[in-house]
DNA sequence: TGAATTGATATTTTTATCGTATGGATCCGC
DNA sequence: GCGGATCCATACGATAAAAATATCAATTCA
């Protein structure tokens, strides 16, 4: 049995006429009769009761009609779904990221993507950077967003958006009134950092401090980027955070740009080259257009 | 797209090898490649990622595999169902009858039929005789069982089983001790009858009485056959009932055969000739074999 | 009763599927 | 690193399946 048999059968069952059905199918009547005959022979029972003048469904035919319609509909859906997935308009995208990403273009991109591709299931997985890389390689996520990712032969990496950093000071800090602050001015400060063992971005900041001529005095290490601002507000030190995170303004702190050589907080997208479906490309393109 | 494409696709997806899949399908490898190629062209997206050395499903392919399996299974089921219905091993049978039938062979037949044909849905519709005939003609029931059915050009009728009648007397009745009772002996009795306007069988009994030389004195008319025995037990008259109904013995009455010319209570099966499916034949054959 | 309509049948034409032969690419063993 | 083996793709002739044309038989309706 082939789908053609079902298409022909449904046409005859709809019109209850071989002639009319053949016309609607765009074929001649004899091949239609022949195909129905073949179908009945394969099933082993008559689907139509035909006199030369009237065509009627048998009981078996009535049941088979319902099944045939369901099968044909399912076939069409299967093709449409595969086509949509292939075109990147349907499917699942698992996105790895750290919480501090969502304040920037990524947050907007996630929202807009859901609107643009309603048949795509976008799933967010908030994790530490090294776990993100492990999940990517294990195939459990499709794309990850990291600041300062390490080079890796298995992974493709492009910059998703440019971002710089912002200094966070307690309102009462001696430098709070100062407009222009350079990194070197902070050599005697006490710092609140993301945990160096977790955060690649924190290591990058540390390296920038060293390049500026001092080793930062890190008094507290936290995991969540949002915690940094709170600790600064509590007067436990100062912090350097990605500029978009500073948009979640806190009343008890002030934000100041870091003058001098720009400190990068750029975010890079990473994925496994071979498993890059069109969905990933579509999503990444949207993220970059938001920047 | 044809089911062949799905069969071929599933084979390749199962083996993840064109060569092995072709062998399992019993075709050569090139036509298999060709069909997969055609399928992918029609869908508009690749279902496999192939290097010359490795075959893997794409995301679209993974989704399509699940759909293809479901469609193929459904196709097989549809054929099997149609085959079963055509062979009279599946479907629905609507049976029209009056309650007094179920005490006889029909009750056993219904039970046994459900065992023999588990895929057949046998539905009982208890109705008055004229309503049964109307339902038959309207196509709402498939077969009916009636005593003394009227001849009808649209309906086919065969005797389903032979049955005679039993006289029902109150225990205290003057004839209760008598073993041999003829119909003519009852000319002075008061009778409980099924309603003459409803029951063809009651009309038949009335005619038998007239033939025996008297017009029965009908003091009560009821609809349910079971009510007859209760009324007799209450001393309101005597009754003549089909013999199988007498099997539901009542403590306050006695049952006596009617001697002389046999009074028929035969049950006939009726159906519409053109709409007689194999199921009806199978069911009727079982009923007759129970008799 | 005869014209018209409808489905079945016979035969030719066309299309599509299949099989064989072959080529290119990768992997594996030496 | 080289040669054989394996695997999928391509090309082409053979074959089978489907479609079209012509025609027939049966029924309906005028």
Place B31 in a pLDDT band, splitting at 50, 70 and 90: very high
Residue-level pLDDT at B114: 95
The residue-averaged pLDDT of B4-10 equals 97
CATH topology of domain B3-86: Arc Repressor Mutant, subunit A (1.10.10)
Q: Are strands B267-272 and B143-147 parallel, antiparallel or unpaired?
A: antiparallel
Cβ of A60 and B4 within 8 Å? Answer: no
Q: What is the dihedral of CA A282, A283, A285, A286, to 10 degrees?
A: 120
pLDDT mean over A91-111: 91
The CATH number of B165-259 is which of 3.40.718.10, 3.40.190.10, 3.40.50.1100, 3.30.110.30?
A: 3.40.190.10
pLDDT given at position B33:
96
Confidence of residue B132 (pLDDT cuts 50, 70, 90): very high
Distance B60 CA to D7 C1' (A): 23
For chain A, the helix, strand and coil percentages under 3-state DSSP, each to the nearest 5: 45, 25, 30
Cβ of residue B271 closer than 8 Å to a chain A Cβ? no
- pLDDT the model gives residue A58: 92
Q: How far is the CA of B291 from the C1' of D27 (A)?
A: 43
Domain locations in chain B as residue ranges:
3-86, 91-161+266-290, 165-259
Label residue A139 left, alpha or beta by phi (over 0 means left) and psi (-120 to 50 means alpha).
Answer: left
| Interface-testing mutation among B60, B61, B69, with chain A (most A C-beta atoms within 10 A) | B60
- CA-CA-CA-CA torsion for B5, B7, B9, B10, nearest 10 degrees? 160
Q: What are the tokens at B148?
A: 């003394």
Burial class, B232, CB count within 10 angstroms (exposed 0-12 / middle 13-18 / buried 19+): buried
Cα gap A35→A43, rounded to integer Å: 12
B59 touching A, CB under 8 A?
yes
Q: Which residue of A has its CA nearest to B61?
A: A82
What is the CB neighbour count within 10 angstroms for residue A203? 16
How far apart CA B241 and CA A134 sit, in angstroms, is 86
| Rounded Cα–Cα distance for residues A206 and A217 (Å) | 10
pLDDT, position B192: 97
- Protein residues bordering strand C (Cβ below 7 A): A 17-20, 29-30, 33-34, 36-37, 50, 52-53, 55; B 2, 4, 26-31, 34-35, 38, 51-54
Residues B263-288 have pLDDT tens digits of: 999 999 999 887 778 889 999 999 99
**pLDDT score recorded for residue B167:** 95
Using the predicted structure, report yes or no on whether residue B155 has a pLDDT greater than 80: yes
pLDDT tens per residue, range B49-80 = 988 778 999 999 999 999 999 999 999 999 99
Q: How far does A253 lie from chain B, in Å, by closest CA?
A: 48
Instruction: Return the CATH number of the domain spanning residue range A3-87.
Output: 1.10.10.10
C1'-nearest nucleotide to the CA of B54: D7
Model confidence pLDDT, tens digit, residues B80-109: 999 999 988 898 999 999 888 888 899 999
CB contact under 8 A, A58 and B3: no
Whether domain A91-162+267-290 has CATH 3.40.50.720: the reply is no
Q: What's the pLDDT tens digit per position in B208-238?
A: 999 999 999 999 999 888 889 999 999 999 9
A42 in contact with chain B, both atoms CB, cutoff 8 A: yes
Give residue-wise pLDDT tens across range A151-172.
887 888 999 999 999 999 999 9
pLDDT, residue B151, reads: 83
Provide the pLDDT for residue A149. 83
**Any CB–CB contact under 8 A between B171 and chain A?**
no
A245-263 mean pLDDT: 90
pLDDT-above-70 percentage for chain B: 100
> For chain B, percent helix, then strand, then coil, each to nearest 5?
45, 25, 30
Q: Do domains B3-86 and B91-161+266-290 have the same CATH topology?
A: no
| Joined tokens for residue A82 | 């595969």
The mean pLDDT of B7-22, rounded to a whole number, is 96
Q: What is the pLDDT of residue A51?
A: 81
Cα gap B133→B146, rounded to integer Å? 9
Mean pLDDT of B205-210: 95
pLDDT at A34 over 90: yes
Q: What is the CATH number of domain B91-161+266-290?
A: 3.40.190.10
- Shortest CA to C1' contact from B31: nucleotide: C18
**Nearest Cβ partner for A82 among B45, B85, B91:** B45
Residue A72 has pLDDT above 80, yes or no: yes
Q: How many CA atoms lie within 13 A of B160 on its CB side?
A: 29
The predicted pLDDT at position A52 comes to 74
Please give the mean pLDDT across all residues of chain A: 93
Contacts of A232 (CB under 8 A, 6+ apart): A168, A169, A170, A192, A238, A239, A250, A253
Strand D contact residues in chain A (31-70), C-beta within 7 Å: 31, 34-35, 38, 51-53
Nearest to B87 among A45, A67, A277 (CB): A45
State the pLDDT confidence band at A139, using cuts at 50, 70 and 90.
Answer: confident
pLDDT of residue B198: 86
Percent pLDDT > 70 in chain A is 100
> Does pLDDT of A128 surpass 90?
no
Residue A275 has pLDDT above 80, yes or no: no
């Amino acid at each position: 049995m082939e789908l053609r048999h079902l298409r022909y059968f449904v046409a005859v069952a709809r019109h209850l006429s071989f002639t009319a059905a053949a016309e609607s199918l765009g074929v001649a009547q004899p091949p239609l009769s022949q195909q129905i005959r073949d179908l009945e022979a394969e099933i082993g029972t008559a689907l139509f009761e035909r006199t030369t003048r009237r065509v009627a469904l048998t009981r078996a035919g009535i049941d088979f009609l319902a099944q045939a319609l369901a099968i044909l509909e399912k076939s069409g859906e299967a093709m449409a779904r595969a086509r949509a997935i292939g075109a990147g308009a349907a499917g699942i995208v698992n996105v790895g990221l750290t919480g501090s990403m969502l304040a920037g273009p990524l947050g907007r991109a996630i929202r807009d993507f859901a609107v643009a591709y309603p048949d795509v299931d976008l799933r967010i997985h908030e994790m530490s950077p090294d776990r993100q890389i492990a999940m990517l390689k294990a195939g459990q996520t499709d794309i990850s967003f990291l600041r300062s990712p390490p080079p890796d032969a298995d992974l493709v990496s492009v910059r998703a958006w440019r971002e710089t950093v912002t200094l966070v000071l307690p309102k009462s800090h001696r430098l709070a009134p100062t407009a222009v602050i350079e990194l070197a001015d902070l050599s005697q400060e006490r710092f609140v950092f993301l945990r160096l063992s977790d955060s690649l971005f924190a290591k990058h900041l540390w390296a920038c401090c060293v390049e500026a001529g001092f080793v930062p005095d890190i008094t507290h290490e936290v995991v969540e980027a949002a915690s940094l601002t709170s600790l600064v507000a509590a007067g436990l030190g100062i912090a350097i955070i990605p500029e978009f995170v500073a948009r979640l303004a806190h009343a008890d702190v002030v934000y100041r740009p870091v003058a001098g050589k720009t400190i990068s907080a750029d975010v890079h997208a990473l994925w496994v080259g071979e498993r890059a479906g069109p969905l990933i490309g579509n999503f990444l393109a949207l993220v970059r257009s938001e920047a």
